[in-house]
A = this chain, B = another copy of it.
Amino acid sequence: MKIAVLGTAIVGKTLAEKLSALGHDVMIGTRDPAASRARTAPDTFGGPPLSAFLTEHPRVALGTLAEAARHGELVINATSGAGAVEAIQQAGPANLEGKVLIDISNPLDFSRGMPPSLTVCNDDSLGEQVQRAAPGAKVVKTLNTVNAYLMVAPGILAGGDHTMFVCGDDAAAKATVTGLLREWFGWRDVIDLGGISMSRGTEMYLPLWARLYGALQNPMFTIKVVR
């Protein structure tokens, strides 16, 4: 499948690597491809710079946000929360028309230190903002409750005995994404919360996630909905 991954940070690279390894035709989209390629410093989490990543993964292409959005039959928004809406605008609503758009972004605000607060919550969400920025796309919010490594390999923690959530206004798109989460990554317990406004619930879990990260001193955790 032709897949676009918007964003070059740890989430974008981890997804691009996994999806390319599964045989998909992946293009990463970024605001300024030349500038992204020119960076030589490690990324925020100490990972290799994008140029090294692209050398190691020659089948992964790099383009602008709009080029990637045009390339993808399915588009994944893995940009940072602060830039997510602008990234979707640059990707171009017309390029996203009718496509499934998986939104992983979280509205985290680190400007006042750790733990982060949210830039939007309670009566709106980033998932809804992304849907409004690309009204013709079928936005499905998911994967935003775990770190990048768990997104693509839930089985590395407790054999995958934990829970993922999906929400979105298009039932068929949610069913597609739920199937892909199982097939691509091995997610076994996926709960459909309802429409895209349910993003408020999974995004407002992030303040608890951040505090658990502080208490456990390790990001390799998540929640299982016990019922």
The reply to whether A191 and B212 form a contact with Cβ atoms under 8 Å apart is yes
**A225 contacts which of B161, B204, B214, B223 (Cβ < 8 Å)?**
B223
The reply to whether A193 and B205 form a contact with Cβ atoms under 8 Å apart is no
The reply to whether B224 and A223 form a contact with Cβ atoms under 8 Å apart is yes
**A123 contacts which of B117, B162, B211, B224 (Cβ < 8 Å)?**
B117
| Least CB separation from A167: chain B residue | B211
**A204 contacts which of B161, B207, B221 (Cβ < 8 Å)?**
B207
The reply to whether A221 and B216 form a contact with Cβ atoms under 8 Å apart is no
A158-B115 contact, Cβ under 8 Å, with A121-B204, A215-B192 = no
A122 within 8 A of B: yes
| Least CB separation from A125: chain B residue | B207
The reply to whether B215 and A193 form a contact with Cβ atoms under 8 Å apart is yes
A212-B193 contact, Cβ under 8 Å, with A121-B121, A200-B207, A201-B207 = yes
* Alpha-carbon separation in the docked complex, A9 to B210 (Å): 32
| Least CB separation from A209: chain B residue | B201
Which A132-181 residues have a C-beta within 8 angstroms of B?
Answer: 157-158, 161-162
Q: Taking the nearest CB of chain B, how far is it from the CB of A156, in angstroms?
A: 11
Q: Taking the nearest CB of chain B, how far is it from the CB of A189, in angstroms?
A: 11
Which residues on the B side are within 8 Å of A85 (C-beta)? none
* Alpha-carbon separation in the docked complex, A218 to B226 (Å): 12
A90 within 8 A of B: no
The reply to whether A201 and B115 form a contact with Cβ atoms under 8 Å apart is yes
Which residues on the B side are within 8 Å of A226 (C-beta)? 157-158, 161-162, 221-224
* Alpha-carbon separation in the docked complex, A211 to B226 (Å): 15
A220 within 8 A of B: yes
Which residues on the B side are within 8 Å of A205 (C-beta)? 204-205, 208
The reply to whether B194 and A201 form a contact with Cβ atoms under 8 Å apart is no
Which residues on the B side are within 8 Å of A94 (C-beta)? none
Question: Can you identify 11 A-B contacts, CB atoms within 8 angstroms?
Answer: A117-B123, A122-B122, A157-B227, A193-B211, A193-B212, A201-B211, A204-B204, A216-B227, A221-B225, A223-B225, A223-B226
Q: When A and B form their complex, which 8 residue pairs have the shortest distance between CB atoms, in order from nearest? A: A221-B227, A201-B211, A201-B208, A223-B223, A162-B226, A204-B204, A224-B224, A204-B207
